[in-house]
Structures are given as C-alpha cells and as structure tokens.
A and B are shown apart, each in its own frame.
Chain A
Amino acid sequence: MMNRIAPFALLALAVALYFALPYNLAFLTRILIMAVLVLSLDLVLGFAGIATLGQAAFYGAGAYAAGLFAIHAWADPIAGLVVAGVAGAVLAFISGLIVLRAHGLTLIMLTIAVAAICHEIANKARDVTGGADGLRGIRMEPVLGLFEFDFVGQTGFWYALAVLAAVFTFLTLLTRAPFGLSLRGIHESPERMAAIGTSVYWRRVAAYTLGGAIAGVAGALSAQVTQLVSLESFSFTLSAEALIMLILGGTGRLYGAVLGTLVFMFVHHWAAANDPFNWLFVIGALVLAVVFFLPRGLVAVPTALKRLGGQNAGS
C-alpha cells in the first residue's frame, strides 16, 4: 500500500513546495539532487547490504566528469548525465573489485580510502580540476535544446525533479526484477544465496557499479545546475550525511530515502539559519535520536504508532 502511494505523495509534495517556496528554488533543487545520491546509497546499502562511507567518491567523479565534459566537449545536459553515469560506474567497478573482497570495518575503511584518494587527486590536479578553487566556467546548453537554465532556477528544479523521478522509477523496477530480489537474498543470507548458485561477489560488484553510476548522475546534476564543482563533492562529510539521511528515512524502501533526505535537509537548513555556529548540536542530537528511538527510520513510524494504538486498545 505505502509502496504505491508514497512516491506519488512525495512527487505532489515536491510540486507543492515549488509553489510554496518560489524564492528557495536553489535549496529545493539541492534536496532533489541529494535525494538521487541517497537513492544510490539505498541500492548499495539498503538492498545489497554493502556498508559504505565513500559514496561521495562516485558523486564527485560524476560531478567532475560532467563539468569537464561540458567545458571541453559538449555542453548538452543529457549527454553530460550519461558521461557522468559512466564515469561513476567505471570508478565504482574498479574500486569495487578490490573493496568488496573485504567485510565489516575493513570494507568501510576501504570505501573511505577510495573517496580520500579521489579528493586528493582532484586537489593536486589543479590544471584540470581547478584544485581547491573548484571547477568554474561551466556553461550549459538548454535541456533537450528547449529549456534554458534561468537565473531563478526554475529549469534547474524541474530538470532535477525529472531526473529524480526517472531514477526512482528505474530503481523501483530494478528492485522488483530478479536482480533486485537476488540482492535482497544476498543481504539476508550470503551463504544461502551462494548455496543456490548465485555468484555473491559479482552480484555485489554489479550493485556497487550501478550505485556508482546513479551517484555519478547526482554529481552531474549538481555540476550542471550550480555550474560549479568543488572539492567538497568528494568529502567524507557528504558520504556521512547521505548515510544519515538514508537511515533517517529507512533503508530498503526507496521512498524512505527520499523522505529522509527531505527531512534532514530541512532540519539542517533551519538549524544552520537559526544558529550558524551551533547547528551541529541539532544534527548530532537528531542522529542519536534516530538511532536510539527510530532505528528503522521514519518509514517505520506508522507501523510503530499502529502497534502502540493496538496495545492501548487491547489493554
């Protein structure tokens, strides 16, 4: 039930927010882009069960690939998305071959190390990436040759929303397909899946690669809409925040990832606007509250309330 209604409710909410906050379109677009990144993490972590703290590596790779492609080759946005997706996928595939041989803490460390290496390479290759100043001078052509990117950010918003909807639909179909089901099986019991003849390692590499491609698309969106790529794209903080958003919403359900992104970004925005120095208190408390009181995320709230109501009625 929720699986069917929730995506449309979220879509309606996005449209409503567009009209409710016309002067905050840049912020709303940022939420949409983060939602794409968190969806990619949901595929890798929520479905395939790969605990990673380095998803920013692919986001950054996509952002730089899209930015450089637009500057040096072709400024068409859709082509940029494809190039960024390929860049994210290639990096994820190559690093995944090494990283996915490990488990637990070592796996988490390796994913962090991959992002750290990318960060440092982008920092040192000043001639290509602009180093710490960021990659500037990205000028995009109109989307599909029709919609010019405007100063207010209306095109950017609809463009990001369309890409988010496409990614969401793709992942919904994927997770219901045999491939998605086999990922769930691996998440729950790798031994059993191996016993029935699934190549656990290669399925995980495939999921990691696909997650890298989608994270690359998210990075490309950010590069195209903001016309800037900064070193922050590779930062550990970005990976950690994406993880917090995913757990806040609830893993393994795609709309949970979007909901978590929405709530986290609004709390973050509100806290940072109210107190630019001490907003980290709010985020820290939020994270602890989620882990202790809502370990299954916001999507579990209705079930929990129902159970609570049922208990009260019973007693």
Chain B
Amino acid sequence: MTLFLNILVDGVAYGMILFMISVGLSVTMGLMRVVNLAHGGFALLGGTFAHWFAAELGLPFWPALVLAVALTVALSLPLERVIYRRIYGFTDLQQVLATIGLTFLMIASVNLWQGSSLLPVPLLEGLKASVDLGFRTLPAHRLMVIAAGLAVVLGLWWLLERTRFGIRLRAAVDNRGTASAHGINTDRIFMAAFGLGAGLAALGGVLGAEILPIDAYYPLRYMVLFLIVVAVGGMGSIAGSFLAAIGLGLLETAARYLAPDFATILFFALVMALLALRPNGLIVRAQ
C-alpha cells in the first residue's frame, strides 16, 4: 500500500512537471506545425535564471521563480519574431535541423555563462519539510509541484475556454487561413502562444529541478522525453498532453520502483507499442 502511494505521489508530481514543460510544445506544434526540438531549452533557461537569482544574487525562492519565468518569456518573444517565424514554412526535416542548431546555441550560451556543472535551485525551507497526512508523510515539494500543476491546468482551461484570446487561439489552431480571414491577427496569437509555452516550460524547469536536475545539457538529455509526451498526447491537444504526461509519469515511476534495472527499456518499449497502435496520439483533433 505504501509502495502504491509512493508511486502515485511521485508519478503524479513527475507527470505534472512533464505536463508544464511539454504543453507549450504541444500547442506550438499544433498551432504552427513546427517540430521544435529546442523547447526544452526554455526550461533550461528558466532553471539557469532561477539558479542565478536565487543562488548567486541571494533572492528568495518565489521572486527568483517569477523573475526567471518573466526573463525567459522576454527572451522567447524576440526569438519567435526573428528565427521561428522563418522556420514555420520549412519542411519537417529543416525544422528539426534548425531547432537542433538553436538547442546547441542555448546549451553553449549556458555553458559559457554558468559552466557545465549542476545548477541547483535552492528550495524554500518550508518545501524541504515533510507534510504529515495522518496515515503517512510526504515531501512538501512534491505536493507543491502537484498543486502548481493543477493550477496550470485550471488556468489554461480558463484561458482557452473562457477568454477571447482562447477563442482566437483555438480558431487559429483549427484553421489558420479561415481565422486570419475573420480578422484574427494570427501572427500575434502565435507570438503570445509561443511566449506562454516558453514561460510554462521555464516554470516546469524551475519547479522540477529536484526531479530533472538542471545543467547545460538539459535540453538534449530530456528532449526525447518532452517530445514523447507530445507524440503520445496528440499534437495540439492540451487534454491529450495532460493525460500523456500523467500517464507517462506514473508509468516511468512505477517501472523505476518495480523493475529498476529495466525501467528505461520498459518505458520506451511501451511507448513504442502505444505509438505503433495509435500513431496520431491518444487524442486526435478532428480535422
């Protein structure tokens, strides 16, 4: 029973991190049809900024988190304007290549600035403690991650279903040409969605630093993981990303607890089987 609960809590926390980082990737892939291998780079940038603010400048955790996310968004917007806008029209392969190039540049920049060692983000004292739930204790950090993930899900749902921006974004995802003909400024929608995705990736990167440690090669190491979430969830589907992220988080955590020697093999084999059965992901958007 304890084992089951451990898997549940760790798996859901891990899944929430995967969701926060990957959801932006899923939206930009569904929206702009761009295969963005550099998306993990925004999580790296967020983590690096948070490390700099908190560990080197000595800011408390929350301001460091907010500043790191804001700075990542501020960097992502000009990047979208200058580079990504040109990539949208490329073929799949050129997009893969261009975004690998961008990933290399991001890694090299962080490497030049902070070196190649681990970049820890000091946690709040309160988050290091354990929370007693009566029947067992849990690390507070995991609960905070799960709460933050749920907040992001609710926030995204509200943003997409209840605001004008959401209506326009959904219209642009469904049919860019028609949306544009109805007077929606799709360029600006793209830019806002891109910035939002980068910001969420940065948030996930900082909050998940305990689970996926930050260092310069972070985007290459976890690139496959983030892309798998999108491929399994179905491109452009936020509900799909959520299901896939939680499912994969639980799957990998369970494999680690139950068969540690074969966890990675088991994980990839199951993902392959799933993708072979449902090549378009769990949730396919109606065309």
Contacts and interface: CB of A to CB of B under 8 A. Distances in A.
Interface of A: 45, 51, 53, 98, 101-106, 108-110, 112-114, 116-117, 120-121, 124, 236-237, 240, 243-244, 247, 277-278, 280-281, 283-288, 290-292, 295
B230 interface: yes
11 contacts: A104-B92, A105-B29, A109-B231, A113-B271, A117-B265, A283-B104, A285-B101, A288-B101, A290-B97, A291-B101, A295-B94
Contacts of A108: 35, 92, 96, 227
Nearest to B263: A120
A291 B224 contact: no
Most B-side CB within 10 Å, residue of A51, A98, A105, A120: A105
A108 B275 CA distance: 11
B101 A98 contact: no
A90 B213 CA distance: 37
A259 B228 CA distance: 33
A213 B200 CA distance: 43
Interface residues of B, number: 44
The B interface, classified by DSSP as helix, strand, loop or mixed, is helix
B96 A287 contact: no
A114 B272 CA distance: 8
Contacts of A237: 220
Contacts of A280: 104-105, 107-108, 111
Given A109-B231, A124-B265, A288-B98, A102 B276 contact: yes
B100 A244 contact: yes
Contact of B228 (A109, A244, A284): A109
A288 B87 CA distance: 10
A284 B265 contact: no
B97 A247 contact: yes
A244 B97 contact: yes
A292 B86 contact: yes
B92 A124 contact: no
A104 B95 CA distance: 12
Given A101-B279, A106-B231, A288-B102, A277 B224 contact: no
Given A105-B35, A106-B231, A117-B268, A288 B105 contact: yes
